[in-house]
Amino acid sequence: MSSVSERLYYDSPALTFAAEVTDIRLHSAEADESGVKRQLWQIALDRTAFYPEGGGQPWDTGVLVATAPSGATLEVAVERVEEDEAGEVWHFVRKPLMAGTVIEGRVDAARRMDHAQQHTGQHLLSAVFLRELGARTVSFHLSALKSGAESSTIDLALAEGESALIAEDLARVEDVVAREIYADRAMTPRWVSPEEAKAMLERGELRKLPEREGPMRIVTMEGIEHNACGGTHVGATGAIGGLLIRKVEKNKKAWRVEFVCGLRAVRAARRDFALLGGVARTLSVGAVDVPGRVEKLLEERKALAKDVKRLTAGSRTSAG
């Protein structure tokens, strides 16, 4: 069994790295639709910049490139990355690379940036909800890029005595988040001892500690919060690019807030504008006039329903 991989993403934003294969194992060999068996292998490296799924954040994807003495190269796609119970990081690939093979790893930059934007946006959104409304984040889920579910969510436990999130509060939170993004506050990771982390918790500088032994990684958002977190983040809040709250709904005992950051927010706004434009063209009005036109149509529909009911009643009376 290999030793546990060195996690390069903890302390460096670099997405290209050199490493050596330390272990390999067959994960599965299932037949595809044509009956051809497709093998899926798990590869461990002595060091990796690939983030494994965890903490509500999806895994990185990318490629491993091996170069033979002749100069020939083999490029293997990394489809998934997971951490096992022993802390080893496994890279899921379709072609085996033997132990001892020296490779160059290349993490998909667009996917990493997207996930880092959503994750950092969640840190900021949660901190602002807590500061402004006393609403505490109890869970977080980040949907993978191009998964079909573009939004991420946080579940909030409201402050004592509060029963709902109202539109005015949500608008205030969005405005505060936008100002903090513009402030471009630095995101700084550092390692602390368990004793220092516990002292930070007692001083109220941390909201909670992860269940783990040894040194802990603390990510500081300048002037906002300290957070015990092993995930990936952008270098400063300005790189979040923008945050848009999409939906709020009751979820069991918590309130679920759906949001998007960065290019996801741009795409969501673009889709909304296109949909609104389509409805406006169908109704032959300007976009700003759509609500009034829809309200008028609903009123006309109610009036027609009343007329139909009255005429139907009159017809039955005449027949009797």
Question: What pLDDT is attached to residue 236?
Answer: 97
Judge whether 221 and 124 are in contact, CB under 8 Å.
yes
Judge whether 51 and 27 are in contact, CB under 8 Å.
no
Instruction: Find the mean pLDDT for residues 41-57.
Output: 94
| Same domain, residue pair 60 and 196 | no
Judge whether 257 and 139 are in contact, CB under 8 Å.
no
Residue 266 has pLDDT above 50, yes or no: yes
Inside any domain, residue 317: no
Q: Can you say whether the dihedral through the CA atoms of 61, 62, 68, 74 is positive or negative? A: positive
Give the tens place of pLDDT for each residue, 99-108: 999 999 999 9
Mean pLDDT of the chain: 90
| Same domain, residue pair 117 and 167 | yes
Share of the chain above pLDDT 90, in %: 65
CA distances from 137 to 148, 157, 216, 237 (A): 24, 6, 20, 19
| Same domain, residue pair 123 and 249 | yes
Which residues on neighbouring strands pair with residue 48, listed in sequence order? 7
Question: What pLDDT is attached to residue 320?
Answer: 58
Torsion angle of C-alpha atoms 222, 224, 227, 229, degrees rounded to 10: -60
Give the tens place of pLDDT for each residue, 206-233: 988 888 788 999 999 999 999 999 999 9
Inside any domain, residue 315: no
Question: What pLDDT is attached to residue 133?
Answer: 96
Judge whether 155 and 259 are in contact, CB under 8 Å.
no
| Same domain, residue pair 70 and 127 | no
End-of-domain residue from the set 91, 107, 123: 107
Give the chain's radius of gyration (CA, Å): 26
Prediction pTM value:
0.86
- Binning pLDDT at 50, 70 and 90, where does residue 1 land? very low
Residue 164 has pLDDT above 60, yes or no: yes
Count of domains observed in the chain: 2
Supply the CATH number for residue 202's domain: 3.30.980.10
The two beta strands, 6-7 and 47-48, are parallel
Judge whether 92 and 131 are in contact, CB under 8 Å.
no
Inside any domain, residue 237: yes
Inside any domain, residue 183: yes
Residue 197 has pLDDT above 60, yes or no: yes
- Give CA–CA dist 295/78, Å, rounded: 52
Q: Which of 4-13, 142-151, 152-161, 242-251 has the lowest mean pLDDT?
A: 142-151
Residue 59 has pLDDT above 80, yes or no: yes
Inside any domain, residue 299: no
**Strand (E) positions, 211-278?**
216-221, 225-228, 243-251, 254-261
Inside any domain, residue 61: yes
Q: Which residue has the higher pLDDT, 252 or 76?
A: 76
Q: What angle (nearest 5°) sits at the alpha carbon of residue 300, between those of residues 298 and 303?
A: 110
End-of-domain residue from the set 107, 123, 158: 107
Give the domain range for residue 57. Answer: 6-107
Instruction: Find the mean pLDDT for residues 233-260.
Output: 94
Question: What pLDDT is attached to residue 116?
Answer: 95
- Binning pLDDT at 50, 70 and 90, where does residue 143 land? confident
